[in-house]
Structure 1
Amino acid sequence: MKILAILAVLFFSIFSSSIAASGGRTCVIPAAGDGSDDSPAIREAFRECGNGGHIVFQEDKTYSIETMLQLHNLSSVQVDILGTIMFSTDVRYWIRHGSYFWFQNISIALEFSGDHITIDGHDRGIIDGQGQVWYDLALGIGGLYGRPIPFALRNAQNSVAKNFWIKQSGKWNFVIVESKNITVDNIRITSLSDDFQANPGNLGNTDGFDTLFSDNVRIMNSYIDSGDDCVSFKPAGSTNIHVQNLTCVNTAGIAIGSLGQYEGQFDLVENITATDITLIGSRNGAYIKTYNGKSVYYPPQGGGNGTGLVRNVLFKNFNIQNITASPVLIQQCTHWAGWDVPPCAEFPANGFTFSNITWTNFTGYSNPTVGTTEVSLVCSPKSKCTGLSFEAINVKPANGSATYSCTNVDGLDSSCKAS
């Protein structure tokens, strides 16, 4: 009886002991250690300590996640990720059971929601999506249904995520959706396919950070090597977002969009600042893309013809090394890959307004295989582009000289000179 009493005291002190300073509780999550599903223990910890408490993923422990985790209704909680959270490679399960969100049919494997959530990895925590199985399965098809996103702040307010590593995500790495007043600091993101050198396309849609329907977000001091957009400000509302001091390796650049993917939907992106960005081996610098065409894939992906507004955007102090495409780009005739793709003239990206957008102080050089660097601002004849400007764009081509091409931009002729 005495031994049982001692064990009970130890268990209580480890799993749900009092915090003298805050009056809350601490839940130190046990890890089975045998590869069995640790999700039930995680859910129990958040049920016990998710309001005013402290939750700890233990150092040097690996937590096996075989079922979706929706950690909702949290309040004033401190979450310390000191070990590794590792997702299973059960493709059949994740295709059927992710936490669904309608935009691009995304599927989330782990999401936090609530108010005043602090998630801190203390430079030790790892979230491992074991994404290679998805890279091999998708082979670059970004819209393949069910690819799991390993970390999301969804319907979160006044919250912080910092100091951890997301690796090998099955799709996007870190998504902020329907959230407000969010700070993201010192996150390391890597999605590296074993087959990248032979088949670099098989990493499609492994974005670093994505924002959707979110306001007042700060993303800073982070490293992203992901194969697709470093940061993407997506619809239908990404507003008042500040991105600073990022290093982006082998990405598609800093993106606004995709926009206009859903007919009848109005997309708003405004008050965006991206500054002090280093891009190494990326395709683009800072760019905006809208979609045209018809829905493809199953379940359907948005094909295009939506409307929207992009305004008050500043891209500043970009150091671009070894770029393979355009440092400055607006692309209004993008479409989902697939069958029956219509020409841009058939669906000319209706009704977008782009205003007060500035690219300034871009330095660096292009990949030696690229003959030139190009500033390319191509607006649809059915859109309005006004107040677009760029200055001090000094990204040197390997051969020849930089080119400038502007189409349907108010105040600029075809070579981007003042008209």
Structure 2
Amino acid sequence: MQIEDLFTLVLFVFACKFDQICSLTNENTCTPTSAGNSSIDDVPAINSALLTCGNGGTIIISSNTIFMIRSPLDFANCRQCSFQIEGTLKVSDDLNYWNGKTAFILLQNITGATIQSLTGMGIIDGSGQVYWDYFAKHKTYKRPLLMFFSNASNITFNNIKLKDAPMMFVTVKDKSYNISFSDLILSAVSTSVNDPKNTDGFDIGECSHVTLNNIHVTNGDDCVAFENGANYITVNNITCVGSHGVSVGSLGLGAGETYVVQNVYVSKIKMINCSKAAGIKLWPGGSSHGSVFVTNVTYDGVIVDNCDYAFQIMNCYESESKTCEKHPSTARLSRIHLMNFTGKTSRKYEPHVANIDCPPNGTCDLTFTGWDIIAPHRKSVVLCAHYDHPSGVKCTPGAFG
């Protein structure tokens, strides 16, 4: 090598190290090693990989390998990283340790991450059965969320199976934005007499520009819930089995607070064996509750298969009727579009296929188009109350809830 070539090489290495002209770290790949022992926490090994390769690199959870999550897995060191799950992340069943923890997996205050499985074999296992059984006898036990997105942005999460969350599967809030979920399977199915309580699929609140696409959810609570602060949320091509529906709310619980859900578009969803396919849940009015505004929400293309109701509005959510009579809901519902609902309800409330109990002291701007819902024996009745100008459905008095 000539002296000038050697000099050039030295300058190049110097520049890479101190001026970061080249980005060798962005090509780093880390593959943490599992201890292979369910009593040993594998989170430190994953954290080490995130620390080494989290800045634009790739972390791979190897196939046919179980990594035990015995302490919270925090993605704080992921900056534009790719986290590839081909094996299993399995939550421990240490009830004492996890009591009161926020979540098993945390994505807080981060910008830029791709969490995915290239093979589609990646699993996040919440070990929910032991938690459901324990909670059935100990109602004060505080179960963590499976995944918590807080003030997170520019996140892609796809092609992964989430199994047996002890409580909610995915919660997104605290000004998170631009988050995409796609090609997912969420399943919470109990093998005992104890139901998988509160296993919401997605709780979306105080965030914007969140998309859900091509997802299958089997659970024991809301499939998707749009909560306070949800704005510009898109849900497309989702199937929900055994859930409480794709719903707005519940809204209005906190005294003196203002609750807003707006700009939500739901399309091409199939609802199977659900308590309702779609709905809005409202707390009563009065000084002990808050103000509610729901605007520009569209459901378009809802297939109803053996759900108890195709659509339901509740204005007395989890409250006594005398409380709601004394403090009627003042919620303002505007530009709520219910389009192309088709299918058949269950026999539970036959012949009633919808229960629309609008807020008595609020507004109820609902528009139905393409409503084609029948009860098992063909005759169908839509119950309504406080819905002054029905559009697209024939109302029968008597709604409640």
User: TM-score, structure 1 length as denominator?
Assistant: 0.82
Structure 2 match to 1:102: none
1:25 to 20, 23, 28: 28
Structure 1 match to 2:327: 347
2:158 to 148, 162, 166: 162
* Cα shift at 1:92: 1.2
User: TM-score, structure 2 length as denominator?
Assistant: 0.86
1:333 to 303, 309, 316: 316
**Structure 1, 23-32 or 276-285: larger mean CA deviation:** 23-32
Structure 2 match to 1:66: 70
Structure 2 match to 1:14: none
The letter of the residue matching 1:255 is S
Structure 2 match to 1:323: 307
The letter of the residue matching 1:320 is V
The letter of the residue matching 2:251 is L
1:192 aligns with 2:170: no
Supply the distance in 1 between the matched residues of 2:285 and 2:41 (Cα, whole angstroms).
43
* Cα shift at 1:374: 2.5
Following superposition of structure 1 onto structure 2, how do residues 127-206 of structure 1 map, counting pairs within 5 Å? 127-139=124-136, 144-178=140-174, 179-195=176-192, 198=193, 202-206=195-199
Cα distance change, pair 304–407 in 1 and its aligned pair in 2 (3 A): farther
State percent identity of aligned pairs. Answer: 29
After superposition, what is the alpha-carbon deviation per residue over 1:143-185, rounded to whole angstroms, capped at 9, x for unaligned?
8552122223222111100000000000011122221011110
Unaligned runs of 5+ in 2: 1-21, 397-401
Cα distance change, pair 277–93 in 1 and its aligned pair in 2 (3 A): same
Asked whether the equivalents of residues 280 and 323 of structure 1 are also in contact (C-alpha less than 8 Å), the reply is: yes
**Structure 1, 375-384 or 353-362: larger mean CA deviation:** 375-384
2:50 to 46, 54, 61: 46
Supply the distance in 1 between the matched residues of 2:377 and 2:136 (Cα, whole angstroms).
33
Rg larger in 1 or in 2?
2
Three-state SS of the structure 1 residue aligned to 2:152 is: strand
After superposition, what is the alpha-carbon deviation per residue over 1:17-76, rounded to whole angstroms, capped at 9, x for unaligned?
xx9887342221110001111111122222222221111111111011111222225321
1:266 to 252, 258, 261: 258
1:412 aligns with 2:387: no
After superposition, what is the alpha-carbon deviation per residue over 1:230-285, rounded to whole angstroms, capped at 9, x for unaligned?
111111x0000000001111111111111112111111111101100011111101
After superposition, what is the alpha-carbon deviation per residue over 1:343-385, rounded to whole angstroms, capped at 9, x for unaligned?
3223323x32110001111111122454223322212222222
Supply the distance in 1 between the matched residues of 2:348 and 2:258 (Cα, whole angstroms).
39
* Cα shift at 1:228: 1.2
After superposition, what is the alpha-carbon deviation per residue over 1:289-336, rounded to whole angstroms, capped at 9, x for unaligned?
012499xxxxxxxx9711121100110111111112x21111111117
Asked whether the equivalents of residues 353 and 373 of structure 2 are also in contact (C-alpha less than 8 Å), the reply is: no
Unaligned runs of 5+ in 1: 1-18, 100-107, 295-302
Asked whether the equivalents of residues 275 and 316 of structure 1 are also in contact (C-alpha less than 8 Å), the reply is: yes
Supply the distance in 2 between the matched residues of 1:304 and 1:158 (Cα, whole angstroms).
37
1:399 to 377, 380, 399: 377
CA RMSD in angstroms, aligned pairs only = 2.5
2:104 to 97, 106, 109: 109
1:230 aligns with 2:223: yes
Structure 2 match to 1:375: 354
Following superposition of structure 1 onto structure 2, how do residues 281-292 of structure 1 map, counting pairs within 5 Å? 281-292=273-284
Cα distance change, pair 341–383 in 1 and its aligned pair in 2 (3 A): closer
After superposition, what is the alpha-carbon deviation per residue over 1:191-219, rounded to whole angstroms, capped at 9, x for unaligned?
00113xx55xx222111111121100110
* Higher strand content, 1 or 2: 1
Supply the distance in 1 between the matched residues of 2:288 and 2:141 (Cα, whole angstroms).
19
Structure 2 match to 1:13: none
Structure 2 match to 1:4: none
Three-state SS of the structure 2 residue aligned to 1:48 is: helix
Structure 2 match to 1:239: 231
Cα distance change, pair 389–341 in 1 and its aligned pair in 2 (3 A): closer
